[in-house]
Amino acid sequence: MKLAMCLAVCVYVCVCVYVCTGILKKVREDVDMNALDGKATPDLLLQSTDAVCLEFEWRAAFWELVPQMAHCVKVFLEDMCSKTLQQEESVYSSVSTLITTVNVSQRQGVELTCPEKDMPKVIVKFCSNVLEELDALLPLAVACKDDALLPVRSCYVEVCGRVISALLTRLEERSGQVPNTAPLKNLPTLLASSLYIQQRLMHYESQLRDGTRTPLTLLPVQRSQDVTAALNEHLTSYCVHVCATSILQDAESHYWADPKPFYEGERCSFSIQMWHYFLSGLRSDLWGSVSPALAQQTLAQVLAQTLELLLQRYSRAQPSYKRLPQIRMDITAILLCVEELMWSVCGSVEELVRPCLSSGSWVSCIHSLCNQFLNVCVILTAPLPLIHSTFQKELSEGITSAPAEPSSSQAPFWLNVINPTLFPQELLREQEAGEGSALWLLKLMGSGPGCCPALVLQAALHSDCLLLRLLLSRSHLCLDSEAEVSLEAQQAAAEFVEAIFSILSSLNNVPRALALALEGYLDRRHLWDHFYSLADTAKEAPALFRSIRAVISKPINSLIGHLVSMMQACEDLPGTLIRLELPESVLTKIPKEWNYASNEAKNKHTSKNNITLAIQGLSFIFTHLPSAVASLPLPIRFLFCMAEKHLSQHSRQLRPTGLLVWTLLGCLCQGLEDGETLELVSVQPLERGDKERLALLSECLQVSLAQQKGIPKPTVHKVLQGLEEKRPKWSSAQLQKTRKLCSESVFERVESGLVQERGGPSEPAEQKMWSALLTLCQEAGGIQNLRQIHHTVQLNEALLRSELASPEDLGSCSPEGHPSVQFLSAGSSQSAPARPFNPLFHFDHIGSAKFDQPTK
């Protein structure tokens, strides 16, 4: 780091020197040319109208230092790498064989190089130390692209290749020591480190690739890929080997020919329980270190391969009559364990309940093996007379007359057999890729290795935002009684509501989602009246309404900016030096050549001019009011439409315009009178006359909407009368045209897909969801808001699961009136730690359910 800082200082100094040198050189050349032509040279720079383009050539300052710079880069990186590896060796051999790790999230700028699903969570500490120095010197290598500076870049690439190769060699050495002298927990960390090195190398290659002379083949990209693949193979093969040779070896429980019952039929085989316990521990290690995508793939591979071993053993079993209950219980326990692990390896509802069995993925392989387990269970344990009668009945009814559709045969009906409550047949038989149950989405979110934006958005929109409504209704936000809530909890709850608003307010293809999610919260807190007084900034309101006001202020500020420019374009007559009115005797003696105008004449002209400008301003406002409303997101418009129905006490005032237009014009009137707002939108300083004309325009607008308090001025009546004479009933027509943009028919057309041009087909639900996700990704803070909702759902997963399991209680309030939902602030949700693995709990639990198997 010291070397990098010194080089940066040198670059800065040389740039400053060459900036000054370039300017002086250009000026000196111009002066010399003018001197030769006999021209004067004062104010040369001020008189020049041509654009001057200076070439600093700051890189030339390093031409003489190229050998020294290349040598410093080489020595520094090699010495740093050597010392780091020596230190790691001493710690590993003397202190602990458990590798020291570093969180990747603590490194700045790393998130930009690859998607979050491919980003490892922790890496080995010595790799982090070396890569930090390589990252620090990367800008120097990128800057040295001239021919004279290429030796520095070539030296960086060459040394980087040797340093990375040394790191990969050390990772291979540490992986070879598992499991002889090092624990299995090291393997996921080593795999994550190798993957991270591979990503950084690809980043270096993309930054240094400029189509020039630098040989980038020295970067060991291919070797890093090979090491990553080898470590992944080592991890999966070792886990499968441990299960096959140790965990699943239980001679006593697999003695199927034994005429005695196994433990009198009281429990399944102990090896099945240990197999699930081992996979749960492996999942915890993968979730805490490897990237989410690779973690899911690795766990699915180990699960599929070990499940295939179990299927081979149980399909060859020939149990005695006394051992039939045991094999039935073993297969049931296996399917229950797989069902619990499937939530972790699947990334979507479609992958869970509608897999493509011909795709060859590990998830589809698991589904196929579980269906085969059901066949084995039926063949081995069902009574022969029952099997025979079943086949006879099917043959007599003509089973071949109505063959099942190919798509329905792909449905994993083993899920319905093992858990019919959670997986009813009607949901599994659906041909379209629907959303399914809310519990499915909840369990997928809680079991995955990280935050999946598509899954979070799908869960947030499911069943009219059911999960979001539950979180709000079961929190202190919707309590009738005053409960003691800390300031941190109140701030976290407010941020959660703002995150919901930020996400749902931008989804124009789902216009009702925002209002449906917030309706219960606004009802219980009695907040609908805040919509009517939204333009009043002096009135205290929750943070949600500050967000709403910020959205509707964008078109308002645009209108105010145009109105300010319109008023500033009108020039006032110069003011008189004498404020008092001159007597008639004096006025008659003033020469006509002076064109003197009395104060009375000037006032009449100014008043007439102000009236004309006010009429033009009102015409401009009513002309652009429909476009201002149309620029607002559809969810905001529907939210105001729903709020208007809850404000029946103000129906008389809102009948001509509607609540949204009433609020927009109210905010516009306030902005025209607010000095700070006017200063923000104006390009030039506002004069007193400009402010007076804008205030008159605001008063005229208030009178036209019946918002004026007190008796209006005579000038206001003249303005409104002049507008009506020029365009009779036009303002009322514009208000009605604007109100139609907030009608129910607009939202119905959007939801039915009829807004597409030329009557195209309706947009599929999946395409609509991906379009909404793309909109969120393009907005600032969209993914962070989804991550905050994801962490909140995970934090309250048990509560949500219990609520969804009893749908008759979904409309009631929290038990005993106390809030149960916990919220995390935005900063805490960014650094929320992973769930710790509790070995005592997972030893005898399948998810939240317990192995109810008493032992002797």
Q: Is 267's pLDDT higher than 60?
A: yes
Q: What is the rounded distance in angstroms from the CA atom of residue 449 to the CA atom of residue 442?
A: 14
Q: What is the rounded distance in angstroms from the CA atom of residue 275 to the CA atom of residue 93?
A: 32
Higher-pLDDT residue of 253 and 137 is 137
Cβ-based neighbour number of residue 748 at 10 Å: 12
Q: Per residue in 157-202, pLDDT tens?
A: 999 999 999 999 999 999 999 999 999 999 999 999 999 999 999 9
Would you place residue 261 in the very low, low, confident or very high pLDDT band (cuts 50, 70, 90)? confident
Q: What is the 3-state secondary structure (H, E, C) of 280-347?
A: HHHHHHHHHHCCHHHHHHHHHHHHHHHHHHHHHHHHCCCCCHHHHHHHHHHHHHHHHHHHHHHHHHCC
Q: Is 814's pLDDT higher than 70?
A: no
Q: Per residue in 368-390, pLDDT tens?
A: 999 999 999 988 888 888 877 87
CA dihedral 449, 453, 456, 462 (to 10 degrees): -140
Query: Lowest-confidence range among 393-402, 564-573, 795-804?
Result: 393-402
* Contacts (Cβ under 8 Å, ≥6 apart) of 13: none
Looking only at the bridges linking them, the beta strands covering 849-850 and 101-103 are unpaired
Q: Is the dihedral of CA 318, 323, 325, 328 positive or negative?
A: negative
Q: Which amino acid is at 537?
A: T
Q: What is the rounded distance in angstroms from the CA atom of residue 638 to the CA atom of residue 504?
A: 12
Single out the residue of 234, 294, 283 nearest to residue 114, CA to CA.
294
Single out the residue of 351, 450, 345, 457 nearest to residue 118, CA to CA.
450
Residue with tokens 């001057």: 52
Q: Per residue in 98-148, pLDDT tens?
A: 899 999 876 655 556 778 889 999 999 999 999 999 999 999 998 888 878
Q: Are 342 and 365 in contact (CB under 8 A)?
A: no
Q: Is 25 left (phi over 0), alpha (psi -120 to 50) or beta?
A: alpha
**pLDDT (mean) for 548-559:** 93
Cβ-based neighbour number of residue 353 at 10 Å: 24
In terms of Cβ atoms closer than 10 Å to its own Cβ (0-12, 13-18, 19+), residue 79 is exposed
Q: What is the rounded distance in angstroms from the CA atom of residue 248 to the CA atom of residue 271?
A: 5
Q: Report how far Cα 550 is from the mean position of its chain's Cα atoms.
A: 21
What are the Cα distances from residue 771, in Å, to 463, 467, 637, 789? 19, 21, 20, 19
- The single-letter DSSP state of residue 260 is S
Q: Is 2's pLDDT higher than 70?
A: no
CA dihedral 180, 186, 191, 193 (to 10 degrees): -130
